[in-house]
Amino acid sequence: MAWTDERIDQLKTMWEKGMTASQIADELGGVSRNAVIGKAHRLGLQSRPSPVKDKEGKAPAPKKAAPPPRRAEPAPAPVQHTPKPAAPAPQAAPKPAPAPAGTAPLAPRDPSEPVLRSIGPGGFLRQGPGDQQAPIPPAPPRRLVPAKPSADIAGKTTLLDLNDRICKWPLGHPGEPDFHFCGDPVNPGFPYCVAHCGHAYQAQLPRRDRRPPPPMPFGGPRVR
DNA sequence: CCCTGATTCGC
DNA sequence: GCGAATCAGG
């Protein structure tokens, strides 16, 4: 079975809908679950909750050691028949002594220990598992006030002032503090005022009368 | 064992 | 580019 545009589309839709690869393969027919997964990845679809792969930043408690190469790899250096080293080191990190009987079963957290918690969208702290009350937002709410425009462009036509009735001819260069736009009333039907239309639109001359273009002002367009 | 998705790699 | 084989967690 070939991956026609139509079948690819079905795959995308079903995948994004949350169907499992098996279901999709079943629905499409003629392909295996693996084929569906392989295709999905090749299409760039990806990162659906996988049972085996979504761990990151969690307590690294590897049950098994580092994953060995699955395919035959160059064999490790031949092991000499040396005497086996001693048994692995004992306790790497001794646990703190258990709380003495009588203290609260739910031991309060050591304040000196930094608390790791995730940051939600917008920078808000997320509720931790043991938290009894909502964490305090990082910054107290304040009224948001528009930033004061730079004095350099006071009274000038900025990007935000542009509309279809004023001349959009740029004066200065983007990024410069006094960059602004002409702002005069437009020549009706054009984006510029009459004067700047004269710059923007030139009569088409007969080919033989064309002059080579004059050098650009200020040494030409800026290159960063 | 079943399921899942991820990954590798010969074709 | 394709997908079987394989891995690894639930």
Q: How many domains are contained in chain A?
A: 2
Strand C interface, A 47-86, C-beta < 7 A: 51-52, 63-64, 67-68, 70
What CA–CA distance (Å, rounded) separates A35 from A41? 10
Let me know: does A109 contact A115? Beta carbons within 8 Å: yes
pTM of this prediction exceeds 0.75: no
pLDDT at A212 over 70: no
What integer pLDDT is reported at residue A157 of this predicted model? 81
When mean pLDDT is compared over A18-27, A72-81, A85-94, A97-106, the highest value belongs to A18-27
Two structure tokens written together for A59: 């307590």
Residue A74 lies in a domain: no
Strand B proximity list, CB < 7 Å: A 20-23, 33-34, 37-38, 40-41, 46-53, 69-71
Quick check: is A113 in a domain?
Answer: no
Q: Report the distance from CA of residue A3 to the C1' of nucleotide C1 in Å, as an integer.
A: 10
Q: What is the pLDDT of residue A35?
A: 94
Whether A159 maps to a domain, the answer reads: yes
In the prediction, which pLDDT does A24 show?
A: 93
**pLDDT tens for residues A104-162?**
444 444 444 455 555 545 444 555 555 555 555 555 556 666 556 556 666 788 878 78
pLDDT at A32: 94
* Residue in A25, A26, A44, A28 with CA at minimum distance from that of residue A36: A25
Q: Helix, strand or coil for residue A198?
A: helix
pLDDT at A8: 92
Q: Which nucleotide is nearest to A38 if distance is taken from CA to C1'? A: C3
- Domain span holding position A156: 152-204
A20 within a domain of the structure (yes/no)? yes
- On strand C, nucleotides with any atom < 7 Å from a protein CB are 1-10
| Predicted local distance difference test score (pLDDT) of residue A153 | 62
Answer whether residue A157 is part of any domain: yes
- Predicted local distance difference test score (pLDDT) of residue A147: 59
pLDDT, mean over chain A: 65
- Rounded, the Å distance between the CA of A58 and C1' of C1 is 35
Q: A16-30, A60-74, A155-169: which range is least confident on average? A: A60-74
Residue A13 placed within a domain: yes
Residue A200 lies in a domain: yes
More confident residue, A220 or A14: A14
Would A117 be classed as within a structural domain? Answer: no
